[in-house]
A and B are shown apart, each in its own frame.
Chain A
């Protein structure tokens, strides 16, 4: 994750969480947070192949 960030992927795009199957409320909370953060950043522009580069 540190290397992803180091390489230029915004840290808000990467989330790790430990949620037990019994923790439904935590799950909802985390999903909400993640979507909010990612929406705020907008669409991911990196690591996308629009046209395949031919040599």
Chain B
């Protein structure tokens, strides 16, 4: 995956030079290891900052909302699915975009790696299937497959769904992965256990809304949690308010979430809020046969009516 960068740079420079786009959105190295940041290149020279490795987990579709100019965007499988969702929801038009598709082999989980070391991590270098971590002067080699982000480990859409350019041959999709093992684990609990599970899951939440801000689906001009008149939900850290926020945010993503993992990645306290969104994703898949962002022509299940929609819950 590391060899993609030359091709990404070449394509980006070409697009900027012949003025077919006004900007290209990609990644550059962040100030800390494993924290690559989004980078907007407006001139071919800016493109030299671009980087591609396994720390590009941020979903760049987030930067397309309501843009009016022509944009080139570097996009992994999940990003392209969110771009499709954006197009379907009229947040940007297909004609405005040049999608530079990146077949993805998964991003690495910075929480997992941080948890393995007691000291601060000084440097992280990748070499193909290995990740070399330097902490307190010592270098440790890890298998990339052991430190993949949880959503990447069960990803079945690594290749871009739409693309105008492709930086490399498509990668093989993972077969036979059990996508919903974690959801089923929770489903098997009794109501009190479930309640307690989520209570402890959400207890560290500081209501910073990083998950919402990182999410490409959360583009409402005023989020329900910020609304003051009426105030839908309390602003403090009361467990009932924290839960309401996570619960409703997940619901707003129902049938739209692509499980890109941006929310979990952005969380400063490491909450896996994907257990909410993933349940909805599973329901959409089981009840409507729907996977979000797979093509431009189909309307999402929550905005269409079909006579055979499941309605067993209405007595």
Give residues in A with beta carbon < 8 Å to B: 1-3, 5-11, 15-18, 30, 46-49, 52-55
Contacts and interface: CB of A to CB of B under 8 A. Distances in A.
A5 B183 CA distance: 12
Nearest to B254: A3
Dominant secondary structure of chain A at its interface with chain B: loop
A28 to B, nearest CB: 14
Interface string B178-200: 00000100110001111111100
A18 B313 CA distance: 10
Contacts of B280: 2-3
18 contacts: A3-B250, A3-B251, A6-B187, A7-B194, A7-B247, A8-B192, A8-B196, A9-B195, A10-B191, A16-B315, A17-B315, A30-B315, A46-B195, A48-B240, A52-B238, A53-B236, A54-B236, A55-B236
A44 B232 CA distance: 20
B239 interface: yes
Given A15-B315, A53-B239, A8 B195 contact: yes
Chain B CB count within 10 A is highest, among A2, A8, A18, for A8
Nearest to B280: A3
Chain B CB count within 10 A is highest, among A3, A10, A18, A30, for A3
Interface residues of B, number: 30
Dominant secondary structure of chain B at its interface with chain A: helix
Interface string B275-294: 01001100100000000000
A54 B197 CA distance: 23
A38 B181 CA distance: 31
Contact of A47 (B191, B236, B243): B243
Contacts of B243: 7, 47
A16 B311 CA distance: 10
Chain B CB count within 10 A is highest, among A11, A30, A53, for A53
A52 B236 contact: yes
Interface string B190-220: 0111111110000000000000000000000
Contacts of B143: none
Given A46-B195, A49-B238, A6 B314 contact: no
B20 interface: no
Contacts of B186: 6
Contact of B237 (A2, A5, A55): A55
A13 B195 CA distance: 14
Nearest to A7: B198
A20 B196 CA distance: 39
Interface in B120-179: none
B240 A49 contact: yes
Which 3 A-B pairs have CB atoms at the shortest separation, nearest pair first?
A8-B195, A8-B194, A53-B238
A27 to B, nearest CB: 12
A1 B254 CA distance: 12
Contacts of A2: 279-280, 283
Nearest to B278: A6
B204 to A, nearest CB: 13
Chain B CB count within 10 A is highest, among A3, A6, A48, A54, for A6
Given A2-B283, A8-B192, 9 more contacts: A3-B283, A6-B187, A6-B194, A8-B194, A15-B315, A18-B314, A47-B244, A52-B238, A55-B237
